Amino acid sequence: MTAATLMPDILLLNANTDHDMTDRMVVQARRLHSQCRGATVTQGANYISDEASMQVAARSVTLFVEGLKAAQQPDALIVACFGDPAVRDLRARFRFPVVGLAEASCVAAFRSAGRFGIVTGGSKWPPLLHDLVSEIGLASWLSGIYALDQTGDQIARDRGNARAAIRSAVAQAEADGAEAVILGGAGLIGFAKELEPSVGVPLLDSVDCAVKRAVALVN
């Protein structure tokens, strides 16, 4: 923790190479925890959208964390990609807590509501996320994964046209029995707070869930 504030130092590491995305996530994270700093991997996809780019991201995240000097190591690390690349491996190797967006969100949704759904951007995500939710042990509580046609970066660039698609996906999740819905991934940050008043279930922002989890693990 920093000597000046005694607040946990949280490092949010963007597993995509898009620096603007890192900046947006840090702004979102600092609304909950001011002592959050951002970093961006230097190799890999501008926006992770399939299994191949996820595997590259896992290597890039690992190399970045391995390269941190002792003074640069945080009190907790958030791997900021909804596929949680390298999270389990890093947990086994480093002393500080390592948090993934997807795992933190799924656990938060389960604890707060029970049955939950996931809305995210990109048609190739459902198989990857089904595997991840199964690894967490929450597959029986998942109503479904509702993937939008647009990828997360496309959603972030065209928020106006994405709203209707997100509302429709949330409505389908609710119809399938979800009692809370995760809006997963960097491209969907900010939509949970904006859209929750107009839908019938609580909406969880994946970055918010990860920040809360990271701070709780340190404290």
DSSP E strand stretches across the chain: 10-14, 36-40, 76-80, 98-100, 116-121, 142-148, 180-184, 203-205
Segment 43-65 shows an average pLDDT of: 95
Alpha carbon distance 117, 1 (integer Å): 35
Q: 55-100: per-residue pLDDT in tens?
A: 999 999 999 999 999 999 999 999 999 999 999 999 999 999 999 9
Domains and CATH numbers, the chain: 10-100+209-218 (3.40.50.12500), 102-206 (3.40.50.12500)
Q: pLDDT at position 5, please?
A: 52
Q: Give pTM, 2 decimals.
A: 0.94
**Listed range (2-6, 113-117, 168-172) with the worst mean pLDDT:** 2-6
pLDDT beyond 80 at 54: yes
pLDDT tier at 6 (50, 70, 90 boundaries)?
Answer: confident
Structure token digits, residue 132: 């991840």
Average pLDDT, the chain: 95
Cβ atoms 82, 102 nearer than 8 A: yes
- The residue among 199, 145, 139, 135 whose CA lies nearest residue 176 is 145
- Name the pairing type of β-strands 98-100 and 36-40: unpaired
Segment 14-38 shows an average pLDDT of: 97
Structure token digits, residue 64: 């970045």
Amino acid identity of residue 57, one-letter, is A
- The residue among 110, 130, 112, 111 whose CA lies nearest residue 120 is 130
pLDDT beyond 90 at 2: no
SS3 183: strand
Burial 59-72 (b: 16+ CB within 10 A, else e): ebbbebbeebeeee
Q: 120-167: per-residue pLDDT in tens?
A: 999 999 999 999 999 999 999 999 999 999 999 899 889 999 999 999
